Amino acid sequence: MRGGWTLSKRLGPALGVDVSDWKQVKSKAERGLRGKNLTPEREGTLRYRLGSACFALGDLLRAEQQFYRYLDLTPGRVTLEPMSAHVHEQMGQIHRLLKRPSREVDSFRRAAAAYEAAGQMVDALRCRLHAAQSLLWAGRAEAALPDLLMVLTGLSLVEAPELRLKAALAHGLYLGLTGSREAGRLLCMTLLDTPPLLPADRAEVAWLLGENALAMGDLTAAELHGAIAHHHALAVWSPPQLERIESLQRRIRRAAGGSR
C-alpha cells in the first residue's frame, strides 16, 4: 500500500493529525459516528477522516464505503466541498490498487476538476497526470492525450519539479505507443542521465525502455531493461504496478519462443 501511504502522509496535515497515528484517527472517527444527532456536515467530516484513516491503514474496501457516504452528503454543503478533491484522489488510488481502470481515470479527473476549482493547480496537474498514466498503461494513448497535454502545458506555468519527471515519462510512453518509438527511447535515455532518480522512477524508465525495445524487435535489450525495471520496482511498486513489468516479461518470453 505504498501509494496509499505516500498520499496519506501528504493529507495528514489537512486532517490536523500526526500522520503516523492513523489508528487513533480511525478510533476517534468511529466514536464520533456513534454519537447522536449528527449534522450532515459533522457526519461528512467524520466519514472523511475515517475513510482517510482506513485508506492509510490498507483497508481499501472500508475506505471506499466511507468515501461514497461522504460524497452523498457533500452536494450543497460548502463546508464539505473543500475535502472532495482529497476524497476523489484517494478513490482514484483505491480503484488503481483494486484494478478498476475506468473508475480510476474518472476519479482522478474528478479530483483534478475539484482542485482546479479551488485554485490548487499543482494538485490538479498531479491528478491529471495520474489519469493520463492510467490510460497510457492500458495502451490507450489517444484517450490519454487530452490529460497529458493539460499536464505538459500546465507545468510551463507552475513550479512543480516533482511532477516534471513523471510527465516526461508519460510523454515518452505516449511517443512509444503512437509509433514514435525511437523518440520515446531517446527521451527515456535522456531521463536516465538526470540525477537523482529514485528507484520507482528508475523502474518506470527501465520498463518503458523495455516496452520500446520489444516493440522494435530487440528482445535482448527488452529482456535487459525488463530485469532492471523489476530490480528497482520490487521494493517500491504496488502489485498492480508490478504486473506491468511481469506482463512485459511474459510478452518477451512469448516473442523469444516464437522467434526460435
**104 burial class (0-12, 13-18, 19+ CB within 10 angstroms)?**
buried
Helices (H), 34-120: 40-56, 60-73, 84-97, 101-117
Read off the pLDDT of each residue in 58-84 and give the average, rounded to a whole number: 86
Sign of CA dihedral 181, 186, 192, 198: negative
Instruction: Write down the pLDDT at residue 2.
Output: 39
For the record, the C-alpha cell of 235 comes out as 521494493
> Tell me, what's the pLDDT at 196?
65
Give yes or no for a contact between 198 and 165, defined as CB atoms under 8 angstroms apart.
Answer: no
Q: Is the pLDDT of residue 176 over 90?
A: no
User: What is the arithmetic mean of pLDDT over 74-90?
Assistant: 83
Confidence of residue 195 (pLDDT cuts 50, 70, 90): low
Q: What's the confidence (pLDDT) of residue 103?
A: 94
More confident residue, 108 or 240: 108
Is the pLDDT at 231 greater than 50? The verdict is yes
Mean pLDDT on 171-189: 73
pLDDT digits (tens, 9 = 90+) for 107-162: 999 999 999 988 999 999 999 999 999 998 888 989 999 999 999 899 888 888 87
pLDDT reading at 46 higher than 50: yes
Q: What is the pLDDT of residue 1?
A: 40
Residue 181: the pLDDT is 65
Q: How confident is the model at residue 190 (pLDDT cuts 50, 70, 90)?
A: low
Give the whole-number percent of the chain exceeding pLDDT 70: 85
What pLDDT digit, counting tens, does each position of 49-70 carry? Answer: 999 999 988 899 999 999 999 9
Q: Residue 217 carries which DSSP code? A: T
